[in-house]
Amino acid sequence: MKLDSKIPEGHISEKWTNHKNNLKLVAPNNRPKIDIIVVGTGLAGAAAAASLGEMGYNVKAFCFQDSPRRAHSIAAQGGINAAKNYQNDGDSTYRLFYDTIKGGDYRAREANVHRLAEVSGNIIDQCVAQGVPFAREYGGMLDNRSFGGTQVQRTFYAAGQTGQQLLLGAYSALSRQIGLGRVQMFNRHEMLDLVKVDGKARGIIARNLVTGEIERHSAHAVIIASGGYGNVYFLSTNAMGSNVTAAWKIHRQGALFANPCFVQIHPTCIPVHGTNQSKLTLMSESLRNSGRIWVPKKKEDAEAIRAGKLKPTQIAEEDRDYFLERRYPAFGNLVPRDVASRAAKERCDAGFGIEANDTNEGVYLDFSTEIQNKGKQAAYAAGNHNPSAEEITRLGKKWLEEKYGNLFTMYQKITDENPYETPMKIYPAVHYTMGGVWVDYNLQSTIPGCFVAGEANFSDHGANRLGASALMQGLADGYFVLPYTVSNYLADDIRTGKISTSSPEFDEAEKRVKDQINNFLSNNGSKSVDHFHKRLGLIMWNKVGMGRNAEGLKEAVSEIAALREEFYKEVYVPGSADELNPELEKALRVADFIELGQLMAMDALQRNESCGGHFREEYQDAEGETLRDDANFSFVGAWEYKGDDISKEELHKEELKYEFIKIAARNYK
């Protein structure tokens, strides 16, 4: 198979404009004759469904939650980037493009990223027109803040709930189209297979999660916007229902899966507390503006802290190791996510972790310096040039509360510790997946008529995503890319007519789904689905996590293959097929996670280099930094499904060409 990325000719700044001028159109009177399915209603899916509905197509949208407004885009905290240059600090489309390529450690496709930067400003205009209440300054203009890996203020935000506000904006646009009858919404429905007719995507099989009914839905094109696959690790910051099933099913039907090993492990999450833990909670990256990350310099202090004999506040300043400031003086605590995460792991592996959990994995995020600095500033601003120590502390805490109050409260609710008095404990956790279904410049997978958008595709973030870029990509794909490229594809379908669901292809896909469900429900096993999911998660975290090596990855490949066999033999799924059955839903999802997990290990094993979030221990310099190998690994690794035995998957390579950016080593020192 030859991968054709379909990148348009011309200068990088003209590619998208020229491409749009050459794409085929569907006239308004023909659009009602055409059906489109959208799976997932997060930023990418809701934006696409709303926009295509407005254009006049018949859209059917699906989500597994009870409402499209629940999609996990809602949980994004920090913000959304856009090259508006409202702060006059020298931002431009080119700079956003450059920062994103560099942040991704030169493993993203130039043309896609440039397009993303080009439409970023339109996103903000669109959202404001919809009534999204972004933060504003006193003059009534939009406010911005900084995020990691950049030197400008280009992040738009709505307190710590930017994802929520953007998703509710897209949801309102979608709701309008549902009300107008242009989009038909299927809540509590899960896509369980793709139907191909003559090689083209022509429909899906979905399960009504309330009645259990297996439904056939046909369309002229199918858009998958089902999010990322972080839950393959069991513990992640993803929602409990976030899953890879829609993306994996199209993979099994022929769509290549690209760079599965590129996973973002976010440095500031609340550490694991116990074996019954179901998920991990993020503490926004913005906290690294005010907090200093440290562990004790002496191992015996770390041990005493874990044993409860010593408190962090009792450790003297000179006995603290502010390891990010020590290793990366130029960026300090604001190095990119992958760098910060690895540094925390390095200290904990060396025995300096402070959390009293099974693995001692935790470091401090300390606000005491900021309390002193801001407290003093506030006292001076109020005219008190000789404030007492108590006054400074009081004012400093007040400043923190105004800035991060909701996050501090959230932390206290979860941990029962007061972060104003004692440092937060944090540790990296799985957060976002840069890998995903391979798509060309039109966001079309290797299956004609099957498009993939948002976190579910692989295209824009390379080996590491910068903060505040995921929301940008989801909305860019849904609002400003798919309406053009899907129409171009559908221009050949205006005479096709309704796609019948009474075809052998639909029969076959439905049978695949029903067989799988029946197999689970009639299985004579004794272990729960979660039992297997947790075991998979442990293998993934230990061997395909923050630090990877060839030996561990080989073990992971065979352990996961063995786990898959045991899963099908030993899993017990209660209940029946014709009712709301959450255990069955989980079983169907975990089956796909297990297969994907094996592929992730294989992908990490073939990539003999370290880049972005992919750290192979064999490929590091004397100071423990990543060693990229551009001569041999400047490609997208896209895997082709070859049957149930995942080890048979075939790797295809799309060479990455950098025509407009000069490749360099990432340096944050």
Partner 1 sequence: MASKKNININLKIWRQKNGKAKGQLVDYKLDNVSTDSSFLEMLDQLNEQLVSQKQEPIAFDHDCREGICGMCSLYINGRAHGPDTGITTCQLHMRMFKDGDTIYVEPWRSRAFPIIKDLVVDRSSFDRIQQAGGFVSVNTSGRTIDANAIPVPKDDADKAFEAAACIGCGACVATCKNGSAMLFVGAKVSQYALLPQGKVEATQRVLNMVRQMDEEGFGNCTNTGACEIECPKGISLENIARMNREYLKASIK
Residue among 283 and 605 whose Cβ is closer to partner 1: 283
Quote the radius of gyration of the chain (alpha carbons, Å).
Answer: 25
Cβ 182 to partner 1 shortest distance, Å:
11
Q: Is 459 left (phi over 0), alpha (psi -120 to 50) or beta?
A: alpha
Residue among 502 and 526 whose Cβ is closer to partner 1: 526
Alpha carbons within 13 A on the beta-carbon side of 349: 9
Among 50, 287, 339, 536, contact with partner 1 (rule: CB under 8 A)? 50
Among 98, 367, 408, 479, contact with partner 1 (rule: CB under 8 A)? 479
Range in contact with partner 1 (rule: CB under 8 A) among 98-106, 227-235, 560-568, 577-585: 577-585
Report the alpha-carbon distance of residue 170 to residue 130 in Å, rounded: 8
481 binds partner 1 per the rule CB under 8 A: no
Residues 159-198, interacting with partner 1 (CB under 8 A): 159, 161, 164-165, 168, 171-173, 175-176, 178-179, 185, 187
54 binds partner 1 per the rule CB under 8 A: yes
What sections of 356-501 are H helices per DSSP? 368-381, 389-415, 470-475, 482-490
Residue among 237 and 286 whose Cβ is closer to partner 1: 237
Residue among 122 and 542 whose Cβ is closer to partner 1: 122
Cβ 46 to partner 1 shortest distance, Å:
11
Residues 82-121, interacting with partner 1 (CB under 8 A): 84, 86, 119, 121
Element at 183 (helix H, strand E) = strand 183-186
Backbone angles phi, psi at 517, to 5 degrees: -65, -45
Cβ 430 to partner 1 shortest distance, Å:
14
Cβ 150 vs Cβ 455: under 8 Å = no
Site size with partner 1, rule: CB under 8 A: 87
Residue among 163 and 254 whose Cβ is closer to partner 1: 163
Cβ 206 to partner 1 shortest distance, Å:
17
Cβ 485 vs Cβ 451: under 8 Å = yes
Report the alpha-carbon distance of residue 144 to residue 89 in Å, rounded: 11
Report the alpha-carbon distance of residue 252 to residue 649 in Å, rounded: 11
The angle at the Cα of 381, spanning 377 to 386, to the nearest 5 degrees, equals: 70
Range in contact with partner 1 (rule: CB under 8 A) among 46-54, 292-300, 434-442, 513-521: 46-54
652 strand-pairing partners: 638
Can you count the helices (H) and strands (E) in the chain?
Answer: 18, 19
Residue among 170 and 447 whose Cβ is closer to partner 1: 170
528 binds partner 1 per the rule CB under 8 A: yes
First to last CA, the chain: 42
Among 129, 330, 622, 631, contact with partner 1 (rule: CB under 8 A)? 129
Residues 59-78, interacting with partner 1 (CB under 8 A): 65-70, 72, 74-75
Residues 134-153, interacting with partner 1 (CB under 8 A): 134-142
Residue among 273 and 569 whose Cβ is closer to partner 1: 273
Residues 402-421, interacting with partner 1 (CB under 8 A): 409-410, 413-417
Which of 483, 557, 543, 654 lies closest to 38, judged by CA?
A: 483
Report the alpha-carbon distance of residue 464 to residue 614 in Å, rounded: 8
Cβ 573 vs Cβ 582: under 8 Å = no
Residue among 164 and 373 whose Cβ is closer to partner 1: 164
282 binds partner 1 per the rule CB under 8 A: yes
Residues 292-351, interacting with partner 1 (CB under 8 A): none
**Identified catalytic residue from 292, 337, 564, 628:** 337
281 binds partner 1 per the rule CB under 8 A: yes
195 strand-pairing partners: 203
640 strand-pairing partners: 650
Residue among 88 and 502 whose Cβ is closer to partner 1: 88
Cβ 456 vs Cβ 228: under 8 Å = yes
Report the alpha-carbon distance of residue 198 to residue 245 in Å, rounded: 23
Which of 265, 248, 266 lies closest to 257, judged by CA?
A: 248
Backbone angles phi, psi at 648, to 5 degrees: -90, -5
Residues 236-275, interacting with partner 1 (CB under 8 A): 237, 239-241, 273-274
Cβ 245 to partner 1 shortest distance, Å:
15
Cβ 547 to partner 1 shortest distance, Å:
25
H, E, C per residue of 476-488:
HHHHHHHHHHHHH
527 strand-pairing partners: 571
390 binds partner 1 per the rule CB under 8 A: no
Cβ 589 to partner 1 shortest distance, Å:
13
Cβ 210 to partner 1 shortest distance, Å:
6
Cβ 239 to partner 1 shortest distance, Å:
4
Residue among 218 and 284 whose Cβ is closer to partner 1: 284
Residue among 65 and 503 whose Cβ is closer to partner 1: 65
Residue among 134 and 567 whose Cβ is closer to partner 1: 134
Cβ 244 to partner 1 shortest distance, Å:
16
515 binds partner 1 per the rule CB under 8 A: no
**Residues 617/620/625/628 CA torsion (nearest 10 deg):** -110
Report the alpha-carbon distance of residue 253 to residue 381 in Å, rounded: 64
530 binds partner 1 per the rule CB under 8 A: yes
Q: Between the CA of residue 119 and those of 455, 481, 610, 641, what are the distances in Å?
A: 17, 9, 31, 34
Residues 555-574, interacting with partner 1 (CB under 8 A): 572, 574
228 binds partner 1 per the rule CB under 8 A: no
Residue 337: active-site member: yes
Report the alpha-carbon distance of residue 205 to residue 513 in Å, rounded: 8
Cβ 399 to partner 1 shortest distance, Å:
18
Cβ 54 to partner 1 shortest distance, Å:
5
Among 279, 394, 403, 514, contact with partner 1 (rule: CB under 8 A)? 279
Cβ 24 vs Cβ 491: under 8 Å = yes
Residues 345-364, interacting with partner 1 (CB under 8 A): 356
The set of residues, in sequence order, having a beta carbon less than 8 Å from that of 93 and lying 6+ positions away, is: 13, 83, 114, 117, 118, 120
H, E, C per residue of 229-277:
CHHHHCCCCCCCCCCCHHHHHHHHCCCCEECCCCEEEEEEECCCCCCCC
Residues tagged active-site: 337
